Chain A
Amino acid sequence: MKTHKKRDIFVEGAIPASFIAESIAEHATATSIGGHEIFLGQVRADEVDGKQVAAIDYTAYRDMANDEMVVIREEAFARWPITCLHVHHSLGTIPVGQLCFFVFASAAHRQPAREAVAFITDEVKKRLPIFGREILSEGGHGWKENR
C-alpha cells in the first residue's frame, strides 16, 4: 500500500461522508496497521465585509498541485513510519457545512499517524496552488487566503 506514485488528489464537488467510511473500510485487510488518523476540512460560514460565506468555489493549478503533493508525500514517508497516506481535495462549489479536504494516514502506532496528518494538512494549505472564491449569501464574492 506504500506507493509514492503521482495521483490526482482532486475530486469534483464535496467529499461525501460515505467516501470517508469506505476509505476506512478498505484498510481492514492491512493488518499491520494499528491506528488511523484523519483530518477533515469543512467549509466554514465566515463573515466577509459583514456578509456570510454561503459556499466556496475551489479551483486549482491542478498539475502543479499534484506534483507538489508527490513531494510533500515523500517528505512525510521519509519522516514517519506510516503505512498509508491518502489526500483528497474538492474542486467546484462546496456549500458551507460540506467537507472539502480529507487527509488520512495509517500506521502501526498512533504517534506517527498523528504527526503525519498534522504535517500534511499544514503543508497542503501552504504549498498547493488551490484558490477559493467565497460566494456570499447576500450576493457578491471574496477570495479566501490561507494564513
Chain B
Amino acid sequence: MDVLLFGIIAEKAGRERLAITASDTRELRARLTDAMPFLASLSYAIAVDRHLLRDDRPLNGDEEIALLPPFAGG
C-alpha cells in the first residue's frame, strides 16, 4: 500500500509517498521505522482512510495510510 508522508516526515524522507506491505497496523509501524529510522525520534500520528488510528487493526492493503506530524494550522 502507498503511505502518504507530510511535513517534516516528507522532508526527512525526501519523498511524499512510500510503498509498504503490512497486514496490520502493528506490522505497518515496524516496517515504517525500518524504512525511515528517523521516525523513532519524531512525534506523529497514523491516519487510515483519513481517520486517526486509535487502536491497532488489520489492513487489507487497499487502505489510504498517512503519517501526520504535529498539526500547525491556523
Contact = CB atoms under 8 A, between A and B. Distances in A.
B14 interface: no
Interface string A100-114: 110000000000000
Categorize the interface residue count of chain B. Answer: 10 to 19
A131 B50 contact: no
A146 B72 contact: yes
Interface residues of A, number: 29
A125 B74 contact: yes
Interface stretch (A13-21, A30-38, A56-64, A77-85): A56-64
B43 to A, nearest CB: 9
Interface of A: 41, 56, 58-61, 63-65, 67-68, 89, 100-101, 121, 124-133, 143-146
Contact of B66 (A59, A64, A126, A145): A64
B4 A125 contact: no
B74 A131 contact: no
Contacts of B58: none
Contacts of A60: 6, 73
A125 B72 CA distance: 7
